């Protein structure tokens, strides 16, 4: 059975990316009627509910921590990244939103060098440069304007990378379940603040969409956890780019989204650079 573990892991990652795109599709569907702040709040609230059975089984000693400040930082950065990501799902073609989310690997070596003192290999710097050339093409500033949604998505990817570095810093002493619990707890409180300013009680159909979003997001997280438990992250990184293909297909099928040549060229550069970055990092 161990021989087939990498194949099962890859399958888990591909299906996880499919469910993440499905979650993004739900966000795109309800964004005209439900604000991004409310969507993020309900996503975090549902996540907290899912962690309560674990807390009841393990008891309060399971959440004793000496790194509360890092949990708070991770939640604050993570909620802000989620706001950016969900905004991009609602305001960009699905493929663009999915692709820019995948630029996080370009920022991680830079944050790891700045905070953790990890060495950045020259080939990684070249890959990062190529990736940002691809992002430049997607931004397409030659038409005299910059797409605000693309910039917000890029900020979200950067913050998502920073959140992963915080997790790496905490993982020395904190088990995954505790990290997930504190993120669910603090992110619910943090996301409640902007949600309160724009509060509007969802209608019956909107509740259905929100529950579907929570279900697809949860399935994606479970599959990601399972996949990374079966094989090293460096082997599985390339499969995360399946989300770009899924998003391009569903965007075309459901919303008639067609990508221009500059955007397609940028996607190719970002994917190549991302794969190169993941390959080099996995050999460290």
Residue 248: band (very low, low, confident or very high) from pLDDT cuts 50, 70, 90: confident
Question: To the nearest 10°, the Cα dihedral for 234, 237, 239, 240?
Answer: 160
Tally Cβ neighbours within 10 Å of residue 258: 12
* CA–CA separation, 18 and 246 (whole Å): 6
Indicate whether 3 pLDDT > 50: no
Residue 80: band (very low, low, confident or very high) from pLDDT cuts 50, 70, 90: very high
**What confidence score (pLDDT) does residue 37 get?**
92
66: tokens are 């000496």
Percent of the chain whose pLDDT exceeds 70: 76
- The CA-atom distances, in angstroms, between 156 and each of 79, 147, 173, 186, 199 are 10, 14, 27, 18, 23
Output the pTM of the full model: 0.76
Q: What is the mean pLDDT of residues 98-124?
A: 68
**What confidence score (pLDDT) does residue 166 get?**
77
Residue 1: band (very low, low, confident or very high) from pLDDT cuts 50, 70, 90: very low
**What confidence score (pLDDT) does residue 233 get?**
56
Of 141-145, 200-204, 218-222, highest mean pLDDT: 200-204
Question: To the nearest 10°, the Cα dihedral for 120, 123, 124, 126?
Answer: 120
């Amino acid at each position: 059975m161990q021989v087939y573990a990498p194949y099962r892991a890859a399958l888990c990652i591909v299906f996880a990316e499919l469910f993440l795109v499905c979650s993004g599709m739900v966000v795109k569907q309800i964004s005209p009627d439900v604000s991004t702040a409310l969507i993020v709040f309900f996503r975090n609230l549902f996540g907290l509910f899912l962690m309560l059975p674990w807390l009841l089984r393990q008891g309060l000693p399971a959440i004793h921590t000496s790194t509360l400040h890092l949990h708070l930082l991770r939640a604050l950065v993570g909620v802000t990244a989620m706001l950016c990501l969900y905004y991009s799902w609602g305001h960009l073609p699905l493929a663009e939103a999915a692709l820019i989310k995948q630029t996080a690997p370009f920022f991680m070596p830079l944050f790891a060098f700045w905070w953790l003192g990890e060495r950045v290999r020259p080939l990684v710097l070249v890959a990062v440069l190529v990736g940002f050339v691809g992002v430049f093409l997607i931004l397409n500033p030659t038409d005299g304007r910059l797409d605000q949604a693309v910039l917000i998505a890029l900020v979200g990817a950067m913050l998502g990378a920073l959140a992963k570095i915080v997790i790496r810093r905490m993982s020395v002493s904190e088990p995954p379940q505790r990290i997930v619990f504190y993120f669910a707890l603090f992110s619910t409180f943090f996301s409640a603040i902007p949600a309160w300013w724009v509060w509007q009680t969802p209608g019956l159909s909107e509740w259905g969409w929100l529950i579907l979003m929570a279900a697809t997001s949860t399935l994606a997280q479970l599959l990601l956890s399972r996949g990374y438990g079966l094989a090293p992250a460096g082997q599985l990184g390339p499969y995360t780019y399946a989300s770009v293909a899924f998003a391009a297909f569903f965007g075309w099928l459901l919303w008639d989204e067609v990508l221009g040549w500059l955007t397609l060229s940028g996607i190719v550069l970002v994917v190549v650079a991302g794969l190169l970055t993941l390959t080099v990092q996995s050999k460290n």
